Amino acid sequence: MSFLPLIISLLAMCAAGYWYGSKKALSSHSFAGQQNAGRPHLYGLYVVIWGVIPPAILLILWGVFSYSSIDVSGGIAGKIDKVVFPSLITVAAILGLTLAVRQISPNLRARKTVEAAVYCVLILASTLSVFTTIGIVLSLLIETIQFFEKVPYQEFFFSLNWSPQMALREDQVGSSGAFGAIPLFTGTLLITLIAMIVAVPLGLMSGIYMTEYASKNFRATVKPILEILAGIPTVVYGFFAALTVGVFFRDVGTFIGLDVVSESALAAGVVMGMMIIPFISSLSDDIIMAVPQSLRDASYGLGATKSETVINVIIPAALPGIVGAILLAVSRAIGETMIVVMAAGFAANLTANPLESVTTVTVQIVGLLVGDQEFDSAKTLAAFALALTLFAITLCLNVIALLVVRKYREKYD
């Protein structure tokens, strides 16, 4: 028995219940003059609620049941699954609807039940995302624990060698890889650092220009354009990095006699910085706007020029917020994947030279999970360990950033 006919018939029943319920409330003589009884559509909704809840409970039970009886395929379980449950659900729906219709009277407070149902639906919606997050973290955690059963954590956190090549078959040689994550994290750090060197000054200065210097009209035109930059899919930035910027840096390098690889950390970092500029400029724009006008007035009133005011009053007042914005940007840069997949290399070099190729955590996660692999090998599990570490780092950065920003907000509101 497939789901679709069952669902459609349930919906039809509910629609009928709604129509009948509101009609009954509307036509009943006893309702006339009863102000507090509520409007007819509430009674319709009341009927629908009772037509939905019993089948929904049964559906959940069905799901649990069929999941737990997966091993006993066929036999009696299969039959219950196919026949008994759908008919049970239909019966429950009909029962709920008829009982609800019979209850309709001026004394029934349908409004309260409907409000309670709305409340439950809203709670359900908001907790769902929380549970999803918890689920993701748990699954990362479980796989990571499995990984550390195969590879000692000392190797993962302290070894300098990353080469996760595993044998595909038992009898192949060289079956154990090296899982030292340090080169990946230094690579991530290097690219993030370059990105920040590009993005922080440019973003901050454009934010200052937008709030303090630009005319209203200019701001109204340019700010949305700058924000379009934030809407460009990162894969397009990746293109740009790999095909244009990387090649450009290599050619410039050749011209001045430097050996620059076309997948240099510099190219990936610079493009990532460009991606982050609108992020920083828009955040710092908001933060600088929140500095009270009275402080500007005070400074101008004392004969300070615009740039003196910016340097001596506005930036110090906005500094905590700006630091928060930068931390948020860093955590974005660390987690950024597409640009580095396309523009940075795969080789795990331990180097601080931006002209060489480095790899990042995200690139390696992609590399580990793309293609055919068994899901219990150390190679695959390593991806989860990397992901969990990355998650922990960005989470910490985000929490710190939010705390800093909140502390700043409290000061002026």
Partner 1 sequence: MEPIISAKNVSVYYGKKQALKGVNLDIPENQITALIGPSGCGKSTFLRCLNRMNDTIEGCRVEGDIIVDGKDIYDPQIDEVYLRARVGMVFQKPNPFPKSIYDNVAYAPRIHGLARNKDELDNMVLASLEKAGLLAEVQDRLHEIGTSLSGGQQQRLCIARALAAQPDIILMDEPCSALDPIATAKVEELIEELRASYTIIIVTHSMQQAARISQQTAFFHLGEIVEVGKTEQVFTSPQDSRTQGYITGRFG
Own/partner pairs, 149-158, CB within 8 angstroms, 24+ separation: 150/378, 150/381, 151/179, 151/378, 151/382, 155/179, 155/180, 156/180, 156/181, 156/382, 156/385, 157/181, 157/182, 158/182
Is the Cβ–Cβ distance between 59 and 89 less than 8 Å?
yes
Question: What is each CA distance from 233 to 36, 240, 331, 338, in whole angstroms?
Answer: 54, 11, 18, 9
Q: Report in angstroms how near the CB of residue 328 gets to partner 1 at its nearest.
A: 23
Query: 10 Å Cβ neighbour count for 230?
Result: 13
Q: Which is nearer to partner 1, 165 or 312 (CB)?
A: 312
- Of 82 and 411, which CB lies nearer to partner 1 in the complex structure? 411
Q: Which is nearer to partner 1, 99 or 298 (CB)?
A: 298
Q: Which of residues 65 and 209 has its CB atom nearest to partner 1 in the complex?
A: 209
Residue 235 CB-half CA count within 13 A: 0
In DSSP notation, 67-95 reads HHTSSS-SHHHHHIIIIIHHHHHHHHHHH
Rg over alpha carbons for the chain, rounded to the nearest Å, is 31
Nearer to partner 1, 201 or 292 (CB): 292
Smallest gap, in angstroms, from Cβ of residue 316 to partner 1? 7
Strand partners, 163: 178
Antiparallel, parallel or unpaired: β 162-163 and 178-179? antiparallel
**C-beta of 83 vs 302, nearer to partner 1:** 302
Q: 197 is written with which tokens?
A: 């060197």
Q: Closest CB to partner 1 among 150 and 223?
A: 223
Q: In whole angstroms, how close is the CB of 301 to partner 1 at the nearest point?
A: 4
Q: How far is the CB of 314 from partner 1 (least distance, A)?
A: 10
Closest separation in Å from C-beta 402 to partner 1: 21
- The residues, ordered by sequence, that sit 6+ positions from 410 with a Cβ below 8 Å of its Cβ are none
Shortest distance (Å) from residue 309 CB to partner 1: 9
CB nearer to partner 1: give 199 or 317. 317
Q: Shortest Cβ distance from residue 306 to partner 1 (Å)?
A: 9
CB of 392 to partner 1, least distance (A): 34
**Secondary structure of 2-66 in HEC code, one letter for each residue:** CHHHHHHHHHHHHHHHHHHHHHHHHHCHHHCCCHHHCCHHHHHHHHHHHHHHHHHHHHHHHHHHH
Euclidean distance between CA atoms 24 and 18, whole angstroms: 10
Contacts to partner 1 by CB under 8 A: 215-216, 292, 294-305, 308, 312-313, 316-317, 411
User: How many residues make up the chain in this entry?
Assistant: 413
